[in-house]
Amino acid sequence: MEKLSNPQVTIETIKKYDFAFQKKFGQNFLIDSHVLDKIIAAAGVTKEDVVLEIGPGFGTMTQYLAEAAKEVIAVEIDKTLIPILHETLADYDNVTIINEDILKVDIAKLVEEKNGGKPIKVVANLPYYITTPIIMGLFESHVPLDNITVMVQKEVAQRMQAGPGTKDYGALSLAVQFYAEPYIVANVPPNCFIPRPGVGSAVIRLTKWENPPIAVKDESFMFSLIRASFNQRRKTLQNSLVNGGIQITKEQVVEALEQMELSPTVRGEALTLEEFAQLSDVLCECRK
């Protein structure tokens, strides 16, 4: 069949199956071949690769991935899309369709079965409401990954790439940059989707570090500090941490800031990832 990146083919498929878009799944299907080509190129997909696609929808991007990759695992939560996918992907024998919530899939087991435990590439047009849980779930579970190349809300992509002292900088920026190097590949206007979303989108590639750029004694404690620091952005770091539900005293925070030669009125948004790691290590010592 002709590719779904032709809007007419997508419209005909919607009519044929009387498909109703479900808001709860954040369904906006990409219908622009130039953007699809950019995503495949940015992910660096080759015939050596096993690719995990999250939320294939009608299979528009899956068709492109199947032609570029060795194998594609497409995980789709909406059961009404499964018969459609079996039709739109009938020409490809290297696609496995799984009807499941990606947050409940044992991805490490899939990678072991499909790629002998070697790193895979993840490609997705992610529903905006669940972007962060999916991306952080992939990183925190330490699944063997090469890169994650995803379509997300434009402002979320900007937050992932933001640096200290900017309005977009926050807990998401630090979490992503701890695990990967973010790079915004392209901005994508609403008219590239059916139905059109109410906001602009962007393709971002997160290339996983082979070794994290910083070393920290207690990763989970550092992230609890980061979350507390940005929960109330306008507060000083000192106040945010003391009132952030972490088991540390004001005296310990004051001592740590002095040791790092940081002002007692410094805010979390001023600290780099390296400084948060250092603060975490100093406070770990203080707590002992």
Specify the CATH number for the domain of residue 15: 3.40.50.150
Q: What burial letters (b/e) apply to 164-173, b meaning 16+ CB within 10 Å?
A: eeeebbbbbb
How far, in Å, are 48, 181, 215 from residue 149 at the CA level? 17, 11, 25
30-87 residue pLDDT tens:
999 999 999 999 999 999 999 999 999 999 999 999 999 999 999 999 999 999 999 9
Looking at per-residue confidence, does 2 or 29 come out higher?
Answer: 29
Q: How confident is the model at residue 11 (pLDDT cuts 50, 70, 90)?
A: very high
- Tell me, yes or no, whether 245 and 142 share the same domain: no
Q: Quote the number of domains for the chain.
A: 2
Question: Residue 1: is its pLDDT beyond 80?
Answer: no
Residue 214 lies in a domain: no
Beta bridge partners of 73: 52, 96
How far, in Å, are 89, 161, 184, 199 from residue 164 at the CA level? 44, 10, 18, 25
Residue 1 lies in a domain: no
How many of the other CB atoms lie within 10 Å of CB of 13?
19
Mean pLDDT throughout 156-164?
96
- Tell me, yes or no, whether 46 and 174 share the same domain: yes
- Tell me, yes or no, whether 155 and 254 share the same domain: no
Question: Residue 26: is its pLDDT beyond 90?
Answer: no
Query: Where is the domain boundary, 189, 208, 227?
Result: 208
Residue 6 DSSP class:
S
Which has the minimum average pLDDT: 39-43, 145-149, 249-253?
Answer: 249-253
Residue 51, helix vs strand vs coil: strand
Residue 137 lies in a domain: yes
Residues 42 and 12: their CA atoms lie apart, in Å, by: 30
Q: Are 195 and 23 in contact (CB under 8 A)?
A: no
Residue 98 lies in a domain: yes
Looking at per-residue confidence, does 127 or 43 come out higher?
Answer: 43
Query: Where is the domain boundary, 187, 208, 229?
Result: 208
Q: Are 31 and 195 in contact (CB under 8 A)?
A: no
Question: Residue 288: is its pLDDT beyond 70?
Answer: no
Residue 33 lies in a domain: yes
Mean pLDDT throughout 185-209?
95
Dihedral pair phi/psi, residue 44, rounded to 5°: 65, 35
> What was the pLDDT predicted at 211?
85
Residue 260, helix vs strand vs coil: coil
- Which residues make Cβ contacts (< 8 Å) with residue 245, sequence separation at least 6? 228
270-283 residue pLDDT tens:
999 999 999 999 99
Question: Residue 161: is its pLDDT beyond 90?
Answer: yes
Residue 258 lies in a domain: yes
- Tell me, yes or no, whether 235 and 188 share the same domain: no
Mean pLDDT throughout 15-41?
92
Q: Is the peptide bond before 195 cis (omega within 30 degrees of 0)?
A: yes
Which has the minimum average pLDDT: 38-42, 108-112, 127-131, 178-182?
Answer: 127-131
- Tell me, yes or no, whether 244 and 125 share the same domain: no
Q: Are 72 and 64 in contact (CB under 8 A)?
A: no
Residue 259 lies in a domain: yes
pTM above 0.75, yes or no: yes
Domain range holding 279?
219-287
Terminal-to-terminal C-alpha distance of the chain: 65
Give the domain CATH number at 259.
Answer: 1.10.8.100
- The rounded percent of the chain whose pLDDT value lies above 90 is 85
Query: Where is the domain boundary, 180, 208, 236?
Result: 208
